[in-house]
A and B are shown apart, each in its own frame.
Chain A
Amino acid sequence: MNSVQLNSCEFISHLQTDLFIKMQFMLLFSRQGKLRLQKWYVPLSDKEKKKITRELVQTVLARKPKMCSFLEWRDLKIVYKRYASLYFCCAIEDQDNELITLEIIHRYVELLDKYFGSVCELDIIFNFEKAYFILDEFLLGGEAQETSKKNVLKAIEQADLLQEDAKEAETPRSVLEEIGLT
């Protein structure tokens, strides 16, 4: 009990000192509580991450559908939304705007949807690295990087295209560099 209390205190002060990083982390998990994606924008130990994930998944899953999409948790605000069998869950600062975070989630889902073509949980399970690529193109360091859907997808597709070329061509470097220069 003692140590747990202490740990949580440390954790909190840690998050607070971490300046104004807007989004602290994003988690995707299924209705069964299986983690599908995790992105941490604040440095935390694996142990802390696991603890937070466990607690949050439990708390969010326990909430009823009619309840609001926000909850105060430790000293953070959790914004979550369910899409089919997947929960998208972000932790932001208390003073931040919850609605816009909800729309960040929505935009991410739109991006996934557009990329995979009517996305489902399986797409994310089997192509989770792609989901990460898209997320990295959309959010960087916890801040919205590019909000234009077209631009995000263009960046991803360019990289994908290069990959294809790289597969086909035996001398990938020179080809890539040509394209990179354009």
Chain B
Amino acid sequence: MSDVVEKTLTALPGLFDSQTGAAKITNRLRQLIKSITELTSKHEEENLIKKELSAMKEQVSSPNTTMKQMREIMVRAMYCEMLGYDASFTYIHAIKLAQQGSVLEKRVGYLAVSLFLNEGHELLLLLVNTVLKDLQSTNLIEACMALTVVAQVFPKDMIPAVLPLVEDKLSHPKEIIRRKAVLALYKFYLIAPNQVQHIHAKFRKALCDKDPGVMTSSLHIYLQLIRESPDSYKDLTGSFVTILKQVVGGKLPVDFNYHSVPAPWLQIQLLRILSLLGKEDQSTSELMYEVLDESLRRAEMNHNITYAILFECVKTVYTIHPKAELLEKAARCIGNFVLSPKINLKYLGLKALTYVVQHDAKLALQHQMTIIECLDHSDFTIKRETLELLFRITNAQNVTVIVEKMLNFLRSCNDEHTIIHLVGKVAELAEKFAPDNSWFIQTMNDVFSIGGDLLQQDVPNNFLRLLAEGSESKEEDDQLRLYAVDSYLTVLKGHTSHLPQCFLQVMSWVLGEYAHLQESMDQREVTRLLTQLLDQRSVSSETRVWILSALTKIFEGQTDLILDLAESLSSSQDTVLRQQAQELRHFSQDSQLHEWVLPRGAPWDGIEVDSSLSFLDGFVSEALAAGAAPYKPPHQRQEELCEDRALNLEPYSFSLPVSLSSCSITDRQSPTLLSVSSGLSGNSTELSQKAGSSTLILEGVKRVWGKDGYLPQKEATAPLVDEPSAAVQPPSQQEAAERTEPQPEPSTQNQDKQQLASSLFVGLGVGSSMSLLGKSEAPPPRFRKKPRPHESSSSSSSGTSERSSDSSSRSSRNTTDSFLYGSLLEEEPATSISAFDHTPKSTTANGLAQNKDTKEDRHANTSQILGGDMVIVRPNTIQDKHPPPVSSDLTALLPTDLKDLPHSDVISLTSDPSLSLSSCRLFRDEALLLVIFISNCTETVIKDVAVQLSCEELETASLRGNVVDCLEARSTSVCHYALLMDDPHTNVSFTGTVSYQTQPGHTNTLPFSGTLSTADFIRPLVVTTEEYGKLWLSLSHDVKQNLKLLTDAGDPLRTTLNALKDALKLHVVDIIGSEGIVACRLLSGAPCLLHCRVNGAALAMWLRSPHPALPDCILYHCQRALAQH
């Protein structure tokens, strides 16, 4: 304990007598604190607290303990917890205290709750009633306390309970209550944005509050909202600018001044908002130039707080659409920061520069000497920020100097986080700007040895991919590979025990693949070096696998050695290793096989991996015919398990015989995958037939290599991270530390600095004069990766929306029309105007809640007709009873080019007295058109109507008419979004807002939301049986499942398929005997083929698609459709 504390403790009685009554402390706490300070050891403290806690435990459970005593106990409990001791037995009493105590005790109770209980603590549930009561209390203090605790600890699921009350508080007469309510809502918005969607209008009221405190609080919400969608709030720019002008001009009460600067927090918040609004928007930016100029000018005082504002101002100036004059002023400001003797300001200066050099690299030039000084600064934080800045200005000319600086820093750094972060940057720079091969390989060696096993997995992955895929010129590639081989051989000849596993793995892979390029070297030497590694204890078993697989590739002609090795490893504990050893043995005895399986120097592109395992089809269908249950992926099994516990408790293991040749193609590339084993067939229970001695074990095997080469998925390589990290500092660490010490002689030092400056900032001056506006174009990276096949395909799919719609006017149109309808099971309101009376429509009562906009009228209808869980509704009957409220005339408003498209009914999205929105879905082949009808219900003109629609899962390919300048009275405007679904989701929800002005300057917003189902995005795929067969074999992802067979009428297969066809817009290709083939696709993208076979009373459904998630998704809808039939 410090002297100060001890001295003051002796004077304690006097000290506390002089305190006001409010600050009086309880005797027990004083005693406790005092006795703790007198203790000398941690052990004594522990004993004392233990005693104290047990005494408290006794006290709290005694019925005689008064609330006043309880409050005193609670304070002591908080103290004990702060010291790090567990006082969780008091938690429940904290809640009780908040519940039952008088205000005095309540206050402590609430404080204890907010300190003790995290969001998500189960005891919080017990607090809901107390909070509700206090929120309704007329006592200001109680309401304040309740709001505070709500904003601090309330979890997502408890928000609905208090939301209405908190919302009411927004119009409370007391500003402190309004302020706390706004902040509580801000917190709600952060953790559950959907729940407060309806109060956005009230946020605007808070923004206009006459109390500056409430207004400031509302800015937190706006900052967040604007960060998410700046476009929706552009109209507020004027207001924010006006507020800032008033603040800067000193119009706020003096209370809000901080060291005579008017409301700095408010200023900063506003500047942030403005930067978001003005980003890439010239006209909006123009509105704020004046006030920014004013801010820069006003902030002259030499105090931290003005610098804080200036910093924010500079950031804003550089973020929004640029204006030369302002940029100049901002740059001068940055200069003041950088040149300041105060270290905090210098740091901020560097940070500002780092931000700014992306826009204007020239600024770094001006401050080069300062930057170099900072590079050798004794403060770690400053150094790191300087490196960050250098990283941003790196180009092909200065890359070697900068990378060296970074590596030097890294060698003397022992903070894991910094290492991971910086090493990744070094790798990035090396790949981008490497001047030559040897430098690149050397730098990557440093990266691997310094970063070691902390490295993000993508660094080694990218590196290996770069080596493997190469560039256009084979010669250059081979040269690079040769460098790598040479360099690794040198490394391996030295001490290897300190090398990180990840580096060893990279080396063994490269040596395995490319050692043969080094012709002057005896391959025996390579083998020797690699086998040496195997003997080392520090080498993890995963690395051993990598090494072994390298050996498998290069052992040629050293059969004896290899046989020994295989022998010694075949008794290894590690099954993968053992398996690999077996394989090695196999290959060493059959060189022809080896040559065929692992051809040397074969191009990467030529390797076709049949990941769909279609070569097993024959076997699978045989097994299925013999009564075997179809394979189900684990997640599906899980689902079924939940659905019906009696069924299928044992997961199937999947063990399929496979010919040695077909699977060894995969083996070539992935050491972790090598899996040709003899006789190791895993736990095959269901499918016990073995058609060969060698089987492919698929269970739990990660896919590292696919059709497209290396799959850089995290999961595939994650095990690397789990390895114990051999975090060994390279021996050069000492050296490096010495080198960074400042040199003694100032004159030579200066010279050195000049030199360093010229090497660091080379290449920045050129062209920087014109780079004020645009970001200077990045030079082409040295190593250009080949475009990967799947990347190109994804880019082409995004272009599909441009396909002309004439392709959609196919002959199948009419049939499409007729069954399109039936698939809209969940979204359609019962008040439909369906013309397709043959289509049965059903809706579950449960589903109603999902679509809240249409909930009411749906509910009214369904409840009239039927009760119970499942309601089957014939649309034509309803139509008679309930004429559609909006609709029929609305569809007439569709643009002529869309009129012919099949469409859903019109449903109402939202409405208020002046505007009503309804929507209708149109099914185009390549997209779903969501048409929104905006109707003016008033007799006056509505101006500036703008619709905003957002949906995370979908992509908007195009939109038309979402902004209407002027909507005449009683008229309707149509806007439509073409939505694309790239990845199937069973259901997606969209949200949006419409903003409009009834009077000039007064903008209203109206939120709406709705859901769409995958079924809306499924289109029939018309193919012939032959085409289907071809396609079937080429697809990779499959799912098998038994479905319910509809047996109520006629041919069960036909009935079932027709039902599915109606529900999901599928195309039935052919029905042969007891089998049927069906095809569909996701818009004009990924196809999905379905193969159905009657199997007893069930329908064995087998789905295949190139898209991994699509089969599951379609299966889900099939199940639903059949269940509802």
Contact = CB atoms under 8 A, between A and B. Distances in A.
Contacts of B401: none
Contacts of B268: 97, 100
Contacts of B263: 147
B111 interface: yes
Given A98-B348, A155-B144, A148 B255 contact: yes
Interface residues of A, number: 83
B5 A121 contact: yes
A181 B79 CA distance: 34
A129 interface: yes
Dominant secondary structure at the A interface: helix
Given A99-B304, A129-B78, A147-B216, A71 B108 contact: no
Interface stretch (B176-184, B281-289, B356-364): B176-184
A56 interface: no
A107 B257 CA distance: 11
A176 B139 contact: yes
A67 B83 CA distance: 29
A149 B258 CA distance: 9
Given A100-B268, A158-B141, A177-B139, A143 B183 contact: yes
A123 B9 CA distance: 11
Interface string A143-155: 1111111110001
B479 interface: no
Contacts of B265: 100, 144, 147
A8 B30 CA distance: 38
Interface in B140-192: 140-144, 148, 151-152, 176, 179-180, 183, 186-187, 190-191
A32 B2 contact: yes
Contacts of B30: 126
Dominant secondary structure at the B interface: helix
A141 B181 CA distance: 12
Contact of B179 (A5, A102, A145, A150): A145
Contacts of B115: 39, 132
A159 B141 contact: yes
B33 A162 contact: no
A39 B5 CA distance: 23
Contacts of B966: none
B15 A72 contact: no
B82 interface: yes
B971 interface: no
A106 B15 CA distance: 25
Contacts of A85: 2, 4-5
A132 B111 contact: yes
Contacts of B378: 64, 67
B186 to A, nearest CB: 7
A50 interface: yes
A68 B381 contact: yes
Contacts, number: 214
Interface string B770-812: 0000000000000000000000000000000000000000000
B1 A140 contact: no
Interface string A66-93: 1111111111000000000100000000
Interface string B351-380: 100000000000000000000000000111
Given A5-B725, A98-B347, A180-B142, A126 B29 contact: yes
Nearest to B219: A143
Q: Count chain A CB atoms within 10 A of each CB in B15, B144, B266, B381 and give the residue with the most.
A: B381
B250 to A, nearest CB: 15
B382 interface: yes
B628 interface: no
Nearest to B342: A68
Interface in A42-58: 43-46, 50
Given A85-B2, A99-B305, A127-B25, A70 B381 contact: yes
Given A141-B187, A144-B265, A180 B75 contact: no
Nearest to A126: B25
Interface string A19-31: 1110000000011
Contacts of A2: 722, 724
Q: Count chain B CB atoms within 10 A of each CB in A73, A97, A107 and give the residue with the most.
A: A97
Given A74-B417, A97-B312, A162-B141, A120 B348 contact: no
Contacts of A31: 2
Contacts of A122: 5, 8-9, 15
Interface in B97-119: 102-104, 107-108, 111, 114-115, 118-119
B138 A141 contact: no
Contact of B264 (A100, A150, A172): A100
A162 B141 CA distance: 8
A68 B107 contact: no
A166 interface: yes
24 contacts: A66-B343, A68-B381, A72-B418, A75-B417, A85-B4, A99-B304, A99-B307, A99-B308, A103-B305, A116-B23, A122-B15, A123-B23, A129-B108, A133-B107, A136-B114, A136-B148, A143-B220, A145-B180, A146-B176, A151-B255, A159-B107, A162-B141, A166-B104, A179-B140
Given A99-B307, A126-B25, A149-B255, 4 more contacts: A68-B343, A72-B381, A140-B148, A177-B139
- Nearest 10 pairs of A and B residues by beta carbon: A99-B308, A180-B139, A160-B22, A180-B140, A148-B255, A68-B343, A100-B308, A43-B118, A43-B119, A67-B379
